[in-house]
Structure 1
Amino acid sequence: MSCIRFNTPAQRRQLAASAPTMAASPDPVAQFLSPAVTASKIARIRRLAVDPDPRIRESAALSYHAPTEVYEALATDPVASVRACVARNEHTPCDTLRALARDQDEIVRAWVAINYFVPADAMEVLAADPSETVQRLVAWKASLAEDADAPQPALV
């Protein structure tokens, strides 16, 4: 059985007719947005965050829609990989990232260092980190910011 799906012309017309008109893509399927975040979705994330399986908690930690208290709880999870997922999530609140910048696990701190939304004071803590890996990631991220500020050559 093939995993490739071919829509019939009738299905493509139906998709085009029901697609939002404001999207720029000519492909009707690409115009559909993700479902709205509902109370039931938030409740599912909360249940995932307390699951006994750390891989399930990692999924909750990576969610863009988790409530602040879920990120805070998962930032103190006994399993480092769960805390690392919180550290790498761009929707993790700044105060939680500040706490994770002082995490006992080098990998967690490394993920905080390369999160683009980590506050400057947490980056200062990480710049003085005892781990050479974390320090190098902080320097690498700073070099990216410098490159972005440098004048770019004109395209001809």
Structure 2
Amino acid sequence: MASGGRHPLPTDALRRLATDPDPRMRQLAPRDPDLPVELVRLLVADPDSTVRQAVATHPRLPVRELTQLLADPSEWVATAAAGNLNLPPEHLQQLLTLAGL
């Protein structure tokens, strides 16, 4: 069972939610820490910014997709991506430079 808050869902249910027609359901899929990379990539390309924001800090987010989310038109998504623990040092340095730090 995957954890992800007060209402844990089984891993197979979270993976099915990645392709649900409702963005509120797709937002739950990243609660699976072992979500397959192909589903992570699908969520990164989601038309709904709340889904992209939900996947932006996922531990299996590939660097290319993480970089893509750093440049997302939604400030909320870009900010979430900047908080991803897998952010490469050169990207972190670039963010600090842009922030004037």
TM-score in same-fold range (> 0.5): yes
Give the whole-Å Cα distance in 2 for the aligned partners of 1:61 and 1:96: 14
1:1-156 → structure 2 map (5 Å cutoff): 41-42=11-12, 44-127=13-96, 135=99
Gap change, CA 1:57 and 1:128, over 3 Å in 2 = farther
AA aligned opposite 2:48? V
Q: Tell me, which stretches of 5 or more residues in structure 2 are unaligned?
A: 3-9
Give the whole-Å Cα distance in 1 for the aligned partners of 2:92 and 2:16: 32
Using the TM superposition, give the Cα deviation of residue 53 of structure 1 relative to its aligned residue in structure 2, in angstroms. Answer: 1.4
AA aligned opposite 1:41? T
Q: TM-score, normalised by structure 1?
A: 0.51
Contact 1:98 1:119 in 2 (8 A): no
The percent identity for this pair of structures is 32
Q: Partner of 2:73: helix, strand, or coil? A: coil
Using the TM superposition, give the Cα deviation of residue 78 of structure 1 relative to its aligned residue in structure 2, in angstroms. Answer: 0.8
**Where does residue 7 of structure 2 map in the other structure?**
none
AA aligned opposite 2:91? A
User: Residue by residue, what CA displacement relative to the aligned partner does 1:11-38 show, whole Å, maximum 9, x if unpaired?
Assistant: xxxxxxxxxxxxxxxxxxxxxxx68xxx
Give the whole-Å Cα distance in 1 for the aligned partners of 2:70 and 2:35: 20
Contact 1:101 1:125 in 2 (8 A): no
Q: CA RMSD in A?
A: 2.5
AA aligned opposite 1:122? H
Which of 1 and 2 has higher RCO (CA within 8 Å, sep 6+)? 2
Number of equivalenced pairs = 94
Contact 1:97 1:112 in 2 (8 A): yes
Using the TM superposition, give the Cα deviation of residue 114 of structure 1 relative to its aligned residue in structure 2, in angstroms. Answer: 1.6
